[in-house]
Structure 1
């Protein structure tokens, strides 16, 4: 890869960054990340980055604000150390769910975070399966939204029987589920969920009776959507239910909901590292995005096209 490539990471996902560097055959850059007594983030680069093409791998996962500030301060340190190009690689883009004003007097936090990153000095932004495609337009710099579903397709294809049905858990996830279903030549079903003051209504649009169901979503946070979708599919006779979600946010209580849901397995990626408790969960399995992320960084460094990976 030459001596002009430099990869750093914050404290959010060291295992992923380590695997990316191992795949690329390059050493990770050294940076001292600490805290002042009052909790302020302090970063000191240990390596020379003058004239380098620098990539910072940092997910905005829990604690979201700490990891975001770490990234911003590291960007500033690298900019002031005269790097040639600064690329922020955020496998999980925190605040992406706040991408529009859904109620009066609410912020568009996804745009605010994009402004912060651009103002800090990022010259290219790389994300993995953004919650909403429109987030790309919030940046004033080149953005690459890498499709992770190909990892799931490769994982699932050898085990397909051919009768499976892909289920979109809500209307917002129909495009994602359709892409997944078309890649595997499977049928598509949609869960029509309507929230009412007295009683919620669930209706599965599509034939799932007696067939294995695969629920596909971009993230699993509280796991309420996943549990609701699995119960709706089971209620209309699904033979077996598995789920694939890109970002394992898995907030408090998600493990318990997953355990009681009629789901055989939940496959996630390592865009966010699992906690010790979720890593031991009997239904959760992980497939790594490190090979894809490493190849994306290699192609960007060599100015090669990313058509194969983009949505």
Structure 2
């Protein structure tokens, strides 16, 4: 049977939604298996249908879906796939969501707001998922939203390996783009043995995707700055941060981020003179029109495949990230 890899009494199955088939194919190549064929369609009225083309009874199934645009369609498709697998008697179902949907709505800033990240966890659980696997959650507390194991993977080793190979760290300073990323930036700083700087910014909760940079804590004059973040959406925030660093005397700005959301005019915005290089992973699909000369895209499939292998073999996912978080 295609798409099923057996180890002793265990049977590993990987299935994919339609949002990012290239990533799913890369993951199964790393696992030396193939994707289970899935009949997935969207009807004329927008309703989604999925059916596994082979039996998954008793299998350990991993459902891969990247939640880029249109996020609601891809989320619904993954939920429907999980439901189909549950009703087909899969032994265990793991949702693999490299970019966790609605992760930025992880708390209430004002009254009468939702906590959508918690809602997503509840939806996955209700659909039949027993485990979730995601890369660089926007907020660590999301791990507690799901009533079951949530494997929080870190892209830092992938990004850091590339930085070490391509950047002279002798004159480098790691920069946290806001107070919320200080802990992660501190780990970067320790691993690269370079200083740390922090950008203090204030965001207007009434205006989405707008930020004002106030001050830089730390010395960046004459330094090459490495700004580390979990995601880039419209690009405006990161460009303002880079501009502030240049005005403070930085000789250049390199940005390393996990999730390249790139909404709206992000490509034009990120082609700013204030950014020297931009390094991301392929947790989300990046079509040719969203790629540009300054951009480097690193493969995340080996990391996800290793985590799937560890879960399937009852190994340790934590051991993959010595000091990464």
Provide the TM-score with structure 2 as the length reference: 0.92
- Equivalent-residue separation in structure 1 for 2:99 and 2:298 (angstroms): 15
- Equivalent-residue separation in structure 1 for 2:71 and 2:202 (angstroms): 30
Q: Provide closer, same or farther for how the CA distance between residues 60 and 203 of structure 1 changes in structure 2, counting only shifts above 3 A.
A: same
Q: 1:148 matched to which residue of 2?
A: 155
The offset of 1:2, in angstroms, is: 2.1
Equivalent residue of 1:296, what SS?
Answer: helix
Q: 1:2 matched to which residue of 2?
A: 6
Equivalenced residues, count: 309
Q: 2:26 matched to which residue of 1?
A: 19
- Equivalent-residue separation in structure 2 for 1:51 and 1:195 (angstroms): 49
Matched, 1:68 2:68: no
Q: 1:174 matched to which residue of 2?
A: 182
Note the aligned Cα RMSD (angstroms). Answer: 1.6
Q: Residue 213 of structure 2 contacts residue 240 of structure 2 at CA under 8 Å; is this kept in 1?
A: no
Deviations 1:226-260 (A, max 9, x none): 10110011001111111001000000111111112
The offset of 1:195, in angstroms, is: 5.3
Which 4+ residue blocks in structure 1 deviate beyond 3 angstroms? Answer: 194-197
Equivalent residue of 1:67, what SS?
Answer: helix
Q: Residue 65 of structure 2 contacts residue 78 of structure 2 at CA under 8 Å; is this kept in 1?
A: yes
Q: Residue 230 of structure 1 contacts residue 261 of structure 1 at CA under 8 Å; is this kept in 2?
A: no
The offset of 1:108, in angstroms, is: 0.5
From 58, 61, 67, the equivalent of 1:54 is 61
Equivalent residue of 1:308, what SS?
Answer: helix
From 208, 219, 226, the equivalent of 1:207 is 219
Q: 1:82 matched to which residue of 2?
A: 89
Q: Provide closer, same or farther for how the CA distance between residues 119 and 200 of structure 1 changes in structure 2, counting only shifts above 3 A.
A: closer
Q: 1:287 matched to which residue of 2?
A: 298
Q: Residue 169 of structure 2 contacts residue 194 of structure 2 at CA under 8 Å; is this kept in 1?
A: no
Q: 2:308 matched to which residue of 1?
A: 297
- Equivalent-residue separation in structure 1 for 2:169 and 2:128 (angstroms): 49
From 267, 273, 283, the equivalent of 1:255 is 267
Alignment of 1:155-234 (within 5 A): 155-159=162-166, 160-194=168-202, 200-234=212-246
Deviations 1:272-307 (A, max 9, x none): 01132112x111110011111111111110000112
The offset of 1:194, in angstroms, is: 3.4
Q: Residue 253 of structure 2 contacts residue 274 of structure 2 at CA under 8 Å; is this kept in 1?
A: yes
Tell me, which stretches of 5 or more residues in structure 1 are unaligned? none
- Equivalent-residue separation in structure 2 for 1:225 and 1:247 (angstroms): 15
Q: Provide closer, same or farther for how the CA distance between residues 195 and 134 of structure 1 changes in structure 2, counting only shifts above 3 A.
A: closer
Q: Residue 147 of structure 1 contacts residue 309 of structure 1 at CA under 8 Å; is this kept in 2?
A: no
Q: 1:122 matched to which residue of 2?
A: 129
- Equivalent-residue separation in structure 1 for 2:143 and 2:203 (angstroms): 30
From 268, 277, 285, the equivalent of 1:273 is 285
Q: Residue 213 of structure 2 contacts residue 241 of structure 2 at CA under 8 Å; is this kept in 1?
A: no
- Equivalent-residue separation in structure 1 for 2:314 and 2:269 (angstroms): 44
- Equivalent-residue separation in structure 2 for 1:79 and 1:195 (angstroms): 42
Provide the TM-score with structure 1 as the length reference: 0.96
Matched, 1:246 2:224: no
